[in-house]
């Protein structure tokens, strides 16, 4: 929930190059969003029993997956 986000964050600068990034660059704002898609897909699975492996999950894709599973 949004209320779980701390009011203030203390950034820590890490001056160690990332071997996967171009010229050792690291992402700054992306890391909090990395688990978002898997969390949404897991929530859909918990609600429907269907695992989806492609994003974005549109209503049409979800409906087709539900139809293909024979759950309805």
71 touches 50 (CB < 8 A): yes
Query: What are the structure tokens assigned to 56, written together?
Result: 């974005």
**Residues 6 or more apart whose Cβ sits within 8 Å of residue 40:** 55, 57
Question: Quick one: pLDDT at residue 36?
Answer: 83
* Mean pLDDT, the chain, integer: 84
Question: Quick one: pLDDT at residue 47?
Answer: 94
Question: Quick one: pLDDT at residue 50?
Answer: 94
- Taking 50 as the pLDDT cut, the residues of the chain under it are none
Question: Quick one: pLDDT at residue 31?
Answer: 67
CA distance 66 to 51: 10
Active site residues: 30
Please give the model's pTM, rounded to 2 decimal places: 0.56
């Amino acid at each position: 929930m949004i209320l779980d986000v701390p009011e203030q964050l203390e950034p820590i600068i890490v001056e160690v190059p990332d071997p996967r990034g171009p010229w050792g660059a690291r992402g700054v704002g992306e890391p909090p969003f990395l688990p978002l898609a898997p969390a949404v897909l897991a929530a859909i699975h918990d609600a429907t029993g269907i695992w989806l492996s492609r994003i974005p999950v549109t209503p049409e894709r979800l409906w087709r997956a539900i139809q293909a599973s024979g759950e309805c």
